[in-house]
Amino acid sequence: MQIEFSPGSHWLIRPSVSVIPVGDGVFDFFQSSTRRSVRFRLSSEIASVIRGLDGRQCLEDICEVHNASVPQISHLMEALHERCAVEPRAVRDAIDAAEHYRVLNFLGDYFPAAELFAAFERLRSTRIAIVGCGAVGSWTAVQLAHSGFENFTLIDGDHVEESNLNRSIFLHEDIGAPKVEAIASALHRISHRVQVRRVREHVHDANGIRALLSEARPDVIVNCADEPSVDLTSEWINDYSQHQGVPYVIAGGYNLHLSLIGMTVSPGVSACFNCSRITLDELEDKSLQGVRRLWRPKRNLGSLAPLTGITSSLATSEVLRLAVRSERLRPAMWNRRGEFNFLTNELSFVNLPPRSECGCTSDGKETDKEQRSLI
């Protein structure tokens, strides 16, 4: 979108931004959605202009009222626009008229008005593949559709059973239906624009998953498959990801009272799954070394809906960060994984940096250099 800072242009303080005088002519521009802020020192004439910046008057007119210099204001608008504190009137009108205005307002904390709609368009058209459509997979799919994503490939060979209902989005009437069909119906209830490729297949090995993904050609993969184990399916998806340059999110799952938050992998940019293995092996609990684990084939692990909700919430946010493909909003789960504790409400993370032994990133060091492309 073409943005002008000319004397005739109309600007306003973004409605979700609060402006707080903190003394000494310094003003805090506080973004309420993301709770970040940026400070500017303003002269009293400029501060008066800011107080009246409602988008109805053009910059020239409002400067005249407050005796402020037009070039100075134009310059300030450029700086405030870059820091997502102001927006042009035309962009505000377009957001107000949009169905996804809440998502746009949120992204507006990261993307200046000039880039906002393009970022949302990238999100909308991103092709998502969800591998494994159980509890976390079903929740993630639905949250993505509510967020505006429209292009899905769902991979799962199971049918909905009564025992799934206590933690997934499946409904009583879905019992007996293939999980991918049940999720497809849920997505279509949210929007008829959503396109869903349903792949009713189990994943058994790296070759199988590669074949399915090569056909789907996703832009982002979400791994929610815990059969045979999250570690194995992540290894397989990692393999495809590193070869094809496609990023993925490990959705995690739950372990007793913990919601696990998996890592996000952008090939060549962040640590891959094999890097994380190297680090995790080093961190292994030493107090139980040399002991044997009792073999127990039929374990019934517990689960609870809200822990699924938290795991899928973070997976959804990570997909969104990958989908906007920008330095302005990067994945928060690169090079780490986390846990949310049911008993204490605490989030904790383990750092999993790129490892040179793995060889997946060029130098194996924390990649802070400019990313070629995030996706």
Partner 1 sequence: MDVYISPDSVVHFVFLSTRKRLRLRVTPLLIECLEWLDGSASVLELDERYEARASSLDVKHSSSFTSFIQYLYGKGILVRKDWMQHSFCPEKVRRYSRQLNFFLDIEESEAAATALLKRIMDCRVALIGVGAVGSWILRELVQIGFQRFIIVDPKELKLTDRTRNAFFDHRLIGRPKAMVAESFVHGQVLKPETRAVRAPLDIDTNVEELIGSDVDLIINTADEPYIGATSIKLSRYCVTKRLPLLVAGGFDAHLASLSEMIVPGQTPCSDCYAKHFEETLRGWKPISHPIVDRRRGFGGLPSLSAFAASAAVLKIVRLLSERGGDIEQGRGEFLFDQYSIDSFKVERNPECSTCGDLGRLRAHAD
Residues 52-81 that bind partner 1 (CB under 8 A): 52-55
How many Å separate Cα 296 from the centre of its chain? Answer: 37
Pick the stretch among 74-82, 199-207, 227-235, 269-277 that binds Zn ion (CB under 5 A).
269-277
Backbone dihedral angles phi then psi of residue 51, each to the nearest 5 degrees: -60, -25
| Kind plus residue range of the DSSP H or E element containing 79 | helix 70-82
Q: Does 85 bind partner 1 (CB under 8 A)?
A: no
CB under 5 to 8 A by kind: which of Zn ion, partner 1, none does 373 bind?
none
User: Are the C-beta atoms of 312 and 143 separated by less than 8 Å?
Assistant: yes
| Kind plus residue range of the DSSP H or E element containing 155 | strand 151-155
Would you give the DSSP letter of residue 84? Answer: T
Largest Cα–Cα separation, the chain:
81
| Residue 250: strand pairing partners | 223
- Member of 24, 282, 284, 297 binding partner 1 (CB under 8 A): 297
Q: Does 358 bind Zn ion (CB under 5 A)?
A: yes
Tell me whether residue 8 or residue 290 sits nearer to partner 1 (CB atom).
290
Backbone dihedral angles phi then psi of residue 12, each to the nearest 5 degrees: -145, 160
Tell me whether residue 241 or residue 312 sits nearer to Zn ion (CB atom).
241
- Member of 40, 63, 76, 109 binding partner 1 (CB under 8 A): 109
What would you report as the CA-atom Rg of the chain, rounded to the nearest whole angstrom?
A: 24
Q: In what order do the strands lie in the sheet with 248-250?
A: 195-199, 151-155, 127-131, 220-223, 248-250, 264-265
Pick the stretch among 67-75, 137-145, 265-273, 365-373 that binds Zn ion (CB under 5 A).
265-273
Residues 251-290 that bind partner 1 (CB under 8 A): 255-257, 261, 288, 290
Tell me whether residue 247 or residue 360 sits nearer to partner 1 (CB atom).
247
Q: Does 35 bind partner 1 (CB under 8 A)?
A: yes
Tell me whether residue 143 or residue 233 sits nearer to partner 1 (CB atom).
143
CB under 5 to 8 A by kind: which of partner 1, Zn ion, none does 274 bind?
Zn ion
Pick the stretch among 6-14, 209-217, 230-238, 353-361 that binds partner 1 (CB under 8 A).
6-14
- Member of 104, 133, 269, 275 binding Zn ion (CB under 5 A): 275
- Member of 310, 322, 324, 374 binding partner 1 (CB under 8 A): 310
Q: Does 220 bind partner 1 (CB under 8 A)?
A: no
- Which conformational region is residue 325 in: left (phi greater than 0), alpha (psi within -120 to 50 degrees), or beta? left
Q: Does 345 bind partner 1 (CB under 8 A)?
A: yes
- Member of 106, 117, 244, 366 binding partner 1 (CB under 8 A): 106
Q: How far apart are CA 109 and CA 98, in angstroms?
A: 17
Q: Give the relative orientation of helices 305-323 and 113-125 as an angle to the nearest 10 degrees.
A: 120
